[in-house]
Structure 1
């Protein structure tokens, strides 16, 4: 409620009609209605917003390696049309919808990977955070050599046994059998030092460079600057611009945490074992999902919301890392990694309150917009409560810790029951943002007067 109150106060101070509209703005509005200068079109508004949203929901997302084994003797139609279309619909499009409907979840995923990549980079000499990102995203994949392929074991200075091998003869790459992705704990550090790509090679594997990212950030910041200046000049923002402004705010943080992560890597580094070697995944065995009753489904929703679903994944049984895989992180780490994104998620909803008192085409749209705003602020705060409880580490048997535990448990229950409401609120705001374009006030078509800030133009 505090963020809601602050957002409403800011909105009243900038975008409300509490004070008289300056004569210059009124005359500019009349001029724009008459088709004179300083007018922007509705298509210009839509194009500016859609291009910015696309940058925030498609270009900004850095997916994990979506490994797909190569098929031999494929038909051209299957190779060039069906397989790419199937991958787009089942993976890229799903990620896009997640970023569109639950953008703060993408931010939380980025923070978890940033956290884990930093931990890994400190354990291998000469590694950067990009190396940590690379191994988390499924950059190393186990392949079995053909039975007749010559190989030699990796020599280790330590006494630790090793069943990794290096090919020493000729064999067909198509005869190698893909098995599963690796996680950091599956490797001796000496092998990682030998087989890992250099920092320059990692940049070459990514599909974007620093210049591309800077261009995206500049375009996003330009849109934010226009919105701020419109507020200073008492020019209204359309609901679509308000939605886009919220995306732009989160996009800046997503890009910051994923800056060192290679983007759109499709081919992992091949790591070999012989055809007879048995791969046993290191670390604690994954928990098993039991979806027998309602409470099991509630637990699953909570796990996916807070990022604990990785504890129930066995990589050795998967052909690729899961879509939102970040590695297994303890509760305290998950709490610290999720606290900031949850607060920013509430701020994301609060930005929509800029249009709290805007002129909507109908009363129903106004009511739905306000209900959606409240939902998008309140539900992320439930996640804040859970994350704050986890960050406390080990709990003492005191009344204060018991109270926090009770609040966290209640928040988990409410979160599992209200998660659908958040998605519905996001869909409602997106729909209303477009329907409200049919009836915009004349001042919404006035362009920003930059001469106020840059004289002598």
Structure 2
């Protein structure tokens, strides 16, 4: 039996193949094809030479999040603020940075110029009473973000702006603060590992985009949007280089025993007195410093004998507990647009109000606060470079003006005109702002303010259109966009 099995195996291996006629596949009648059945199937990607849609999406999202998170340096929250309130302000600031990064650049530039002025002012006033190194740019940023707090027996009394600090020193409430830069650096939570990851991800993305441009490979619309974000947030990060990031608690300055007894009695913050948030005013209603109708109880308590100018509070949502979170998310589109309008309005206010569009509370400064020590043409020095940054950012989107990667004619047209408006709007603001702030006739100022307000609204709409098209067109990318550049993947990144 064993020999017989070996014989059959030998025959099967060495026998000649059977010549049989080829099998003919029946061809169906073309008339029987249904239009839906005739749809072309997508081509299978080549894993060695092609990218995937999900890979493009996640790399862009990771880059946008990393750039925005690292570039935004928020102001401090109040010591009694809940975790939800802290998170809410962080989220609102990040969303504003995504939808209107040019306005964030204006805020950053104003804080930078104010920090330089505050540093010089403090060192000139107290050069005989402070160490040789004096204040640095970090000190100028730190006091603007609410980093100094008057305390009594370990309890907060009031947050200090530069004006409040000078007034408190003159009244003998506090000593001249001698805070070294390393003391502020100890509170900085911008760790090295996070910055390294952000730099690595951004470097990989920029190198990939430049390489594709050199090889004449098209970019996805989302990649162009992300590249503009990376460039703009890189500039904002450089402007805020000396500003501490992620600080949770301010530095306490002890209240002197000789201070006013009223300050000693106000060392306990409760729900009824801790930074009451006023109701929303009309979009064009900017409260004036001498208008008692717009002053809040918090402002009166904080100002004391020398009241400070009122500042329109952008953070005006009465959400004091986490139980109201659902209402916040339901109203988030309204809150976002309102906040952006308020931030844009502050740019066109009169010179003495440009930095004072919030009410500085007892325990914290508002989200987009910048000191008002700038005088003369300092505001122009802050706005003009920021407008140039906005024009450069919008120009990135214009690179797709004649692109053939859009799936439809309508999407291409929407992209072109939205990109054009985003690029032109900052220059339009540069023309309108002098007309609003100058001694022009009232009718001219009214028309200029109306055009400015409308242009800011349309700017927000155009930004949203670009963001929407960037994500909607990624579902239908042409073959050229999916072509990969292999050596770029050697750089560590998130994909």
User: TM (normalized to structure 1)?
Assistant: 0.70
3-state SS of the aligned residue for 2:252? strand
| Structure 1, 262-271 or 229-238: larger mean CA deviation | 262-271
After superposition, the C-alpha distances for 1:179-218 in whole angstroms (9 at most, x for unaligned) are: 4321113335799985343111211101114664355234
Structure 2 residue 427 is the aligned partner of structure 1 residue 381: yes
Deviation at 1:288, TM superposition (A): 7.2
In structure 2, relative to structure 1, the CA distance for the partners of 1:252 and 1:215 (3 Å cut) is same
Unaligned runs of 5+ in 1: 1-31, 71-82, 146-170, 291-296, 452-457
Look up the match of 2:482: 445
Query: Conserved in 1, the CA contact under 8 Å of 2:188 and 2:247?
Result: yes
- CA distance in 1 between partners of 2:193 and 2:243 (Å): 14
In structure 2, relative to structure 1, the CA distance for the partners of 1:134 and 1:283 (3 Å cut) is farther
- CA distance in 1 between partners of 2:216 and 2:305 (Å): 60
Look up the match of 2:278: none
After superposition, the C-alpha distances for 1:127-157 in whole angstroms (9 at most, x for unaligned) are: 11001111111111233x3xxxxxxxxxxxx
- Alignment match of 1:137 (pick from 142, 145, 151): 145
Structure 2 residue 92 is the aligned partner of structure 1 residue 94: yes
- CA distance in 2 between partners of 1:99 and 1:93 (Å): 10
- CA distance in 1 between partners of 2:367 and 2:453 (Å): 21
Structure 2 residue 434 is the aligned partner of structure 1 residue 434: no
In structure 2, relative to structure 1, the CA distance for the partners of 1:352 and 1:187 (3 Å cut) is same
Query: Conserved in 1, the CA contact under 8 Å of 2:100 and 2:340?
Result: no
Deviation at 1:93, TM superposition (A): 1.1
- CA distance in 2 between partners of 1:238 and 1:312 (Å): 39
Deviation at 1:276, TM superposition (A): 1.4
Look up the match of 1:324: 368
Query: Conserved in 1, the CA contact under 8 Å of 2:148 and 2:251?
Result: yes
3-state SS of the aligned residue for 1:68? coil
- CA distance in 2 between partners of 1:282 and 1:41 (Å): 65
Look up the match of 1:304: 346
Deviation at 1:226, TM superposition (A): 1.6
- CA distance in 2 between partners of 1:417 and 1:193 (Å): 48
Deviation at 1:378, TM superposition (A): 1.9
- CA distance in 1 between partners of 2:479 and 2:344 (Å): 46
User: TM (normalized to structure 2)?
Assistant: 0.65
Look up the match of 1:73: none
Deviation at 1:302, TM superposition (A): 5.3
Larger Rg: 2
3-state SS of the aligned residue for 2:253? strand
In structure 2, relative to structure 1, the CA distance for the partners of 1:288 and 1:201 (3 Å cut) is closer
What CA RMSD, in Å, does the superposition of the two structures yield over aligned residues?
3.5
| Structure 1, 376-385 or 94-103: larger mean CA deviation | 376-385
Equivalent runs, 1:220-369 vs 2, <5 Å: 220-273=202-255, 274=259, 276-277=261-262, 280=303, 285-287=308-310, 303-306=345-348, 308-315=353-360, 317-328=361-372, 329-330=374-375, 332-358=377-403, 359-369=405-415
After superposition, the C-alpha distances for 1:235-268 in whole angstroms (9 at most, x for unaligned) are: 0000000000110110111111111111021211
Structure 2 residue 52 is the aligned partner of structure 1 residue 41: yes
In structure 2, relative to structure 1, the CA distance for the partners of 1:374 and 1:381 (3 Å cut) is same
Query: Conserved in 1, the CA contact under 8 Å of 2:312 and 2:358?
Result: no
Query: Conserved in 2, the CA contact under 8 Å of 1:105 and 1:305?
Result: no
- CA distance in 2 between partners of 1:139 and 1:281 (Å): 21
Structure 2 residue 100 is the aligned partner of structure 1 residue 63: no
3-state SS of the aligned residue for 1:342? helix
- CA distance in 2 between partners of 1:298 and 1:438 (Å): 30
- CA distance in 2 between partners of 1:422 and 1:245 (Å): 19
In structure 2, relative to structure 1, the CA distance for the partners of 1:311 and 1:336 (3 Å cut) is same
- CA distance in 2 between partners of 1:54 and 1:187 (Å): 36
Deviation at 1:444, TM superposition (A): 0.8
Equivalent runs, 1:123-134 vs 2, <5 Å: 123-124=122-123, 125=127, 126-134=134-142
- CA distance in 2 between partners of 1:389 and 1:345 (Å): 20
Query: Conserved in 1, the CA contact under 8 Å of 2:103 and 2:343?
Result: no
3-state SS of the aligned residue for 1:265? coil
Deviation at 1:318, TM superposition (A): 4.2
Look up the match of 2:180: 198
Query: Conserved in 2, the CA contact under 8 Å of 1:186 and 1:281?
Result: no
Structure with bigger helix share is 1
- CA distance in 2 between partners of 1:282 and 1:383 (Å): 39
Deviation at 1:84, TM superposition (A): 1.9
